[in-house]
């Protein structure tokens, strides 16, 4: 018999049948798409519904200002009070020099079952401050500061590697969003997270006149015979609904 792997259900009606019942437990999913494709809503829905099932969830909102995500959630009629302590939402909406340490602290704070980071771009592009450098050991200075002299993107990648390592260690099932620039080549801006993740979900949006077409596509999912085709969906007043 094949070893059954535990899966985390998305909580989005009909979606899990495309991914063999859910996201492999402990896997890291990158949710990629241009602005407005529904990344934040998708991830919020997965965490909210899992919190209702008793899973401990952390949503690190590094993009929208405090209260905005909560407003979007309540607009869909999802009741944050019902999720209670199971859904912790932490918002930081300014470029934070201590961003990496902050995120690492939050990730390690509890034994979370699910972790969302929205978005990774806020981390890879966060600035580095001199007092941060002062607190580092020589090895970290060598690894983090010296490359800056040559290439800011290298530093961004190092930050992401740390975040991925901490998430893997925590064993949580994670959802990390990253913004795709319209027309840009490659999957991610940082060009590394696509190799560090286990699963890639791409979100598309096409508006023609008054018609709106949204779809999601699983580009990769480890351990899964997943749907390869586009999965059409809508964002309705209740959240994400498959068409
Ligand atoms: N109540 C709603 N009804 C229908 N569509 C909505 C509603 N709320 C938000 N949306 C759609 O969701 C989009 C934002 O989704 P979001 O997940 O924030 O995008 P992303 O995180 O990919 O930038 C909006 O641009 C809008 O098209
Ligand atoms: Mg978003």
Please provide the average confidence, as pLDDT, over all residues in the chain.
91
pLDDT at residue number 27: 98
For residues 173 and 14, what is the distance between their CA atoms, to the nearest angstrom?
A: 20
**Ranges of residues in the chain whose predicted pLDDT is under 50:** none
- Contact indicator for 33, 203 with CB cutoff of 8 Å: yes
For residues 221 and 218, what is the distance between their CA atoms, to the nearest angstrom?
A: 7
For residues 61 and 171, what is the distance between their CA atoms, to the nearest angstrom?
A: 20
**Strand locations in 34-138, DSSP E?**
57-61, 87-91, 114-118
207 lines ligand 1 (CB under 6 A): no
178 lines ligand 1 (CB under 6 A): no
Q: Which atom, in ligand 1's list, is nearest to the CA of 75?
A: 1
Q: CA angle, 193 as apex, 73 and 160 as ends, to 5°? A: 85
- Domain 28-202: give its CATH superfamily: P-loop containing nucleotide triphosphate hydrolases (3.40.50.300)
173 lines ligand 1 (CB under 6 A): no
DSSP-derived secondary structure for 46-63: HHHHHHHTT--EEEEE-S
pLDDT at residue number 146: 62
- Contact indicator for 1, 200 with CB cutoff of 8 Å: no
Q: Which of 79, 83, 73, 105 is nearest to 92 (CA)?
A: 105
Task: Answer whether 0.85 is exceeded by the pTM.
Answer: yes
pLDDT at residue number 150: 53
Q: CA angle, 22 as apex, 159 and 27 as ends, to 5°? A: 25
């Amino acid at each position: 018999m094949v070893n059954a792997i535990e899966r985390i259900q998305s909580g989005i009606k009909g979606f899990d049948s495309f991914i063999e019942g859910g996201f492999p437990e402990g896997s890291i999913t990158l949710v990629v798409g241009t602005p407005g494709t529904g990344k934040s809503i998708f991830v919020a829905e997965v965490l909210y519904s899992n919190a209702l099932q008793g899973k401990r969830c952390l949503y690190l909102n590094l993009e929208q200002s405090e209260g905005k995500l909560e407003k979007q959630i309540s607009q869909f009629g999802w009741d944050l009070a019902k999720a209670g302590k199971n859904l912790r939402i932490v918002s930081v909406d300014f470029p934070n020099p201590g961003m990496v340490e902050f995120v690492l602290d939050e990730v390690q704070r509890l034994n979370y079952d699910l972790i969302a980071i929205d978005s990774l771009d806020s981390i890879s592009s966060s600035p580095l401050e001199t007092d941060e450098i002062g607190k580092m050991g020589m090895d970290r200075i060598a690894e983090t500061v010296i490359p800056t002299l040559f290439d800011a993107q290298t530093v961004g990648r190092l930050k992401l590697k740390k975040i991925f390592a901490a998430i893997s260690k925590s064993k949580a099932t994670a959802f990390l969003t990253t913004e795709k620039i319209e027309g840009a080549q490659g999957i991610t801006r940082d060009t590394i997270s696509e190799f560090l993740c286990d699963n890639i979900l791409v979100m598309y949006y096409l508006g023609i006149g008054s018609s709106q077409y949204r779809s999601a596509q699983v580009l990769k999912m480890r351990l899964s015979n997943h749907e390869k085709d586009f999965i059409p969906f809508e964002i309705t007043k209740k959240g994400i609904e498959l068409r």
